[in-house]
């Protein structure tokens, strides 16, 4: 699909977001493990989360989608009892699906395998293979290259104490899930704080989880089902917050955004850059803080983003690079080598595509340097099959001179199927689908 973006004279509107992708994954997985019935509303319709549902159903979980309202799912928990799948589990493009489901597969008394699409099958999985093996799991990379497909043979898990060498909420959550099935406690120490949706949800579901700073202790046991309404996705909100801040005539409100402290680094960073963002209607829903965010045209300035700042911003770095293009001065992004192991090499991808739009941007070994202030011009761009690259380029294009064409634009359906529809709705100035 080729998407043509026309610059907008103004951006004004109220946006309702898709359900948070991270929480959607976990609500399906944890309720599938649990005992009892649950109902989840505002479940993300992104392809990644649907991959999780499909994998769980193949393992014998009973997850039903409401045909009239597909954002609602009903789950009958397995009480930690799963069945051997009849075929290889397909995680699609979803690293979260593959890594978190692996926490279940490692503990099962049957053979199973899981893989994904071409992109996912190139992503590193030694980061879960090693600690799961230490727990007693019989798991290996089928091609012996540290990447999917992963194969699991029946194994009994023991609790371990594990210090994570990389900051990854996916790896942490995989080990927490495996820890539920282990014989003894599992203790995980993070390299740096990452999003804590797994800890919050497990605790709300009766799991014995103790969090002490960057150390998480999981006692083996069962979970009790939890019905919840999933808040809007902060990573999706980030695109509209940047859109509003960089546009010359903008006033955007994003409603019911999940405000988990482990996810609000993007709001804090944009405010530090000078973005005019107001937080209202703060409340708690299902153990997660939720609020409305209003943003308007702002004067941004560059800054340095590195070190412990990176884990809390890892998914938002492509759209931060867009904000930096419209900021005064220099922005330096460093220590972001993890971007190279995403759906695309996001360092190379975003540098190439913003460069096509006339941004003054330079790739470095672990990040990029951006000199703000260059007027962007429409161009032909490529999403690299990466949903976050496609959406970041689209936001930049709204404030560029001339039309921008984005190829392989259908990839936004991975996380935000209605992104183009939402973008097109501003001021009824329609972009073109071809």
3-state secondary structure of 74: strand
Catalytically active residues are 315
**Which run of H or of E encompasses 362?**
strand 360-364
Angle formed by the axes of helices 169-180 and 197-204, nearest 10°: 30
Distance in angstroms (rounded) separating the CA atoms of residues 432 and 423: 11
Give the C-alpha distances (Å, rounded to integers) separating 418 from 15, 18, 228, 376, 424: 11, 8, 22, 26, 10
3-state secondary structure of 187: strand
Strands 215-218, 209-212: pairing is: antiparallel
Please enumerate in sequence order all residues whose Cβ is within 8 A of that of 311, keeping only pairs 6 or more positions apart, or say none: 167, 192, 193, 194
Q: Is the distance from CB of 342 to CB of 415 less than 8 angstroms?
A: no
Distance in angstroms (rounded) separating the CA atoms of residues 7 and 150: 45
Please enumerate in sequence order all residues whose Cβ is within 8 A of that of 58, keeping only pairs 6 or more positions apart, or say none: 85, 86, 87, 89
- Residues shown for the chain: 434
Distance in angstroms (rounded) separating the CA atoms of residues 318 and 271: 17
Helix, strand and coil in the chain, % to nearest 5: 35, 25, 40
Q: Is the distance from CB of 71 to CB of 417 less than 8 angstroms?
A: no
User: b/e per residue, 93-118, with b = 16+ CB within 10 A?
Assistant: bbbbbbbbbbbbbbbbeeebebbbbe
Distance in angstroms (rounded) separating the CA atoms of residues 420 and 372: 26
3-state secondary structure of 84: coil
DSSP labels, 128-145:
HHHHHHHTT-EEEETTSS
- The region that residue 30 occupies, defined by phi over 0 for left and psi between -120 and 50 for alpha, beta otherwise, is alpha
């Amino acid at each position: 699909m080729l998407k043509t973006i026309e610059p907008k004279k103004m951006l004004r509107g109220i946006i309702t977001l898709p359900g948070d992708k991270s929480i959607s994954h976990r609500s399906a997985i944890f309720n599938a493990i649990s005992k009892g019935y649950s109902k989840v509303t505002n479940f993300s319709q992104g392809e990644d989360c649907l991959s999780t549902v499909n994998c769980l159903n193949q393992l014998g979980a009973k997850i039903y989608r409401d045909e009239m309202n597909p954002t609602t799912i009903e789950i009958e928990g397995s009480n930690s009892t799963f069945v051997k799948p009849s075929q290889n589990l397909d995680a699609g493009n979803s690293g979260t699906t593959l890594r978190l489901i692996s926490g279940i597969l490692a503990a099962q008394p049957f053979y199973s395998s899981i893989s994904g699409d071409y992109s996912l099958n190139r992503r590193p999985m030694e980061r879960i293979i090693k600690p799961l093996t230490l727990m007693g799991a019989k798991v290996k990379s089928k091609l012996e290259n540290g990447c999917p497909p992963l194969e699991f043979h029946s194994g009994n898990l023991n609790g371990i104490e594990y210090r994570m060498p990389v900051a990854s909420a996916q790896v942490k959550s995989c080990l927490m899930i495996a820890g539920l099935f282990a014989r003894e406690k599992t203790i995980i120490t993070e390299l740096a704080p990452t999003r804590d949706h797994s800890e919050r949800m497990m605790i709300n579901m009766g799991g014995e989880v103790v969090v002490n700073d960057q150390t998480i202790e999981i006692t083996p046991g069962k979970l009790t089902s939890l019905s919840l309404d999933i808040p809007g996705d902060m990573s999706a909100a980030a695109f509209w917050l940047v859109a509003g801040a960089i546009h010359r005539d903008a006033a955007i409100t994003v409603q019911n955004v999940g405000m988990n402290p482990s996810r609000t680094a993007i709001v804090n960073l944009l405010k530090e850059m000078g973005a005019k963002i107001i937080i209202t209607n703060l409340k708690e829903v299902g153990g997660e803080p939720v609020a409305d965010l209003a943003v308007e045209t702002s004067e941004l300035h560059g800054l340095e983003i590195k070190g412990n700042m990176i884990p809390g911003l890892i998914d938002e770095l492509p759209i931060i690079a867009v904000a930096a293009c419209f900021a005064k001065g220099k922005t330096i992004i460093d220590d972001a080598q993890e971007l190279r192991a995403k759906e695309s090499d996001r360092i190379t991808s975003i540098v190439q595509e913003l460069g096509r739009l006339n941004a003054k941007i330079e790739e470095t070994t672990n990040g990029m340097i951006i000199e703000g202030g260059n007027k962007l011009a429409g161009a032909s761009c490529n999403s690299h099959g990466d949903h976050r690259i496609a959406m970041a380029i689209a936001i930049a294009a709204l404030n560029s001179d001339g039309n921008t064409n984005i190829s392989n634009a259908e990839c936004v359906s991975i996380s935000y199927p209605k992104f183009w529809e939402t973008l097109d709705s501003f001021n009824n100035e329609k972009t073109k689908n071809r």
